[in-house]
Amino acid sequence: MALAPSRQWSLVARPQGEPQPSDVRLDEVDVPDPGPGEVRVRNTWLSVDPYMRGRMDDRPSYVPPFRLEEPMTGGAVGVVELVGDGVEGVAEGDCVLHDRGWRERAVLRADAVRVVDADLAPAQAYLGVLGTTGLTAWVGVLDVAQMREGDVVLVSGAAGAVGSVAGQVARLKGASAVVGTAGGEEKVRWLLDDAGFTRAGDHRSASPADLLRDLLPDGADVYFDNVGGPTLEAALPRMRDHGRVALCGAISGYNATSAPPGPRTLGLAIGKRLRLEGFIVTDHLDRTEEFTREMAGWIARGDVVYRETATEGVESAFDAFRGVLSGANTGKMLVRLDPDL
């Protein structure tokens, strides 16, 4: 039996507030050959995502918490190095998507990987615009918020992996205006110059109420909310009657040590007949096929642009994760691993 070296991140303490280096540990381990029905994958890209912050807490949620002293999991793509006995449909050299991120190498059941078409888009796109990130944006706009042609659509966290795709889906589906908020002038410029947003503003430049009044002089029909907190509070008064809010994330509070204030404006939902609806992408995997077909077409035609912010090497994964919580990324936050490791 041959062993292959790997480094992998384990959670060793539950973070209080912002995750600290003392909450995690990078271990060097030896990964065995795959057994029957298994494959060994050398990861090339790891995904770090805001939702992982919730998994670091020990409380019931829609995904189980990370267990202490075990390697963390998350989205990853890699190349199949070795194939065990009896495996069909996966071959050495295939590019695969799976959930054993936070590490360099993984052995897992062959039916737990999905072979992806690296000719259609770069492999890491399957962690972002062509993966659950893109699907989140697409179902949030179309199925949850039920955007209609002509709607004015607001997206917060608009330069993030989900937000930037949500805004572009809205534009391509006929929104009359797509308005984004993001953290910093550079992100705002990218939204306006490259991602096709109608208007965009820096949430650090003004109070949420002032910013959204400027950006939405005539209100909004749809709000795709990635941030929660004061931006959600300021968005509700801007909603038009019968507006719809897709509650996708609340990153502004993920590191909070006590419950942040709720939106004092929620009472407006009655008179305005607003609908606010929380969703998680794994309830909508039946839409994957239609999403992939539509999104791949948009990408091929250049209708959807996407950006990545990548750090280098498995040792950078924890910093990348802390960065995605603080908004260091434009577009999808990734960790690139040396393919010749």
Other C-beta atoms lying within 10 Å of the C-beta of residue 182: 29
How much is the CA Rg of the chain, to the nearest whole Å? Answer: 20
> Which lies closer to a copy of itself via its Cβ, residue 46 or residue 246?
246
- Residue span binding a copy of itself (CB under 8 A) among the ranges 66-74, 75-83, 212-220, 257-265: 257-265
Residues paired with 308 in a beta bridge: 332
Residue from 33, 65, 176, 279 touching a copy of itself (CB under 8 A): that is 279
Q: Is 286 in the site for a copy of itself (CB under 8 A)?
A: no
Residue from 270, 289, 301, 340 touching a copy of itself (CB under 8 A): that is 270
Residue from 96, 274, 333, 337 touching a copy of itself (CB under 8 A): that is 274
Q: Residue 88 in contact with residue 22, Cβ under 8 Å?
A: no
Other C-beta atoms lying within 10 Å of the C-beta of residue 32: 14
Residue from 69, 92, 283, 312 touching a copy of itself (CB under 8 A): that is 283
Residue from 26, 115, 280, 328 touching a copy of itself (CB under 8 A): that is 280
Q: Residue 14 in contact with residue 257, Cβ under 8 Å?
A: no
Please report, as residue ranges, which positions from 30 to 59 form the binding site for a copy of itself (by CB under 8 A).
Answer: 54
Other C-beta atoms lying within 10 Å of the C-beta of residue 7: 19
Q: Is 207 in the site for a copy of itself (CB under 8 A)?
A: no
Residue from 84, 253, 313, 323 touching a copy of itself (CB under 8 A): that is 253
Residue from 131, 249, 327, 331 touching a copy of itself (CB under 8 A): that is 249
> Which lies closer to a copy of itself via its Cβ, residue 192 or residue 280?
280
CA 296: distance to chain centroid? 18
The letter for the amino acid at 135 is L
Closest approach, Cβ 16 to a copy of itself, in A, equals: 18
User: By C-alpha distance, which of 126, 143, 119, 117 is closest to 286?
Assistant: 143
233 membership: H or E segment, kind and range? helix 229-235
Strands 239-247 and 38-47: unpaired
Number of residues that bind a copy of itself (CB under 8 A): 35
Q: Is 255 in the site for a copy of itself (CB under 8 A)?
A: no
Q: Residue 222 in contact with residue 147, Cβ under 8 Å?
A: yes
Closest approach, Cβ 232 to a copy of itself, in A, equals: 8
Q: Is 262 in the site for a copy of itself (CB under 8 A)?
A: yes
Q: Is 276 in the site for a copy of itself (CB under 8 A)?
A: yes
Alpha-carbon gap, residue 40 to 4, rounded angstroms: 10
Residue from 180, 263, 327, 331 touching a copy of itself (CB under 8 A): that is 263
Q: Residue 314 in contact with residue 103, Cβ under 8 Å?
A: yes
The residue behind tokens 């990324």 is 329
Closest approach, Cβ 160 to a copy of itself, in A, equals: 15
Please report, as residue ranges, which positions from 212 to 231 form the binding site for a copy of itself (by CB under 8 A).
Answer: 228
> Which lies closer to a copy of itself via its Cβ, residue 12 or residue 266?
266
Q: Residue 19 in contact with residue 322, Cβ under 8 Å?
A: yes
The residue behind tokens 């419950």 is 259
Binding site for a copy of itself (CB under 8 A): 54, 61-62, 228, 232-233, 241, 247-250, 253, 259-280, 283
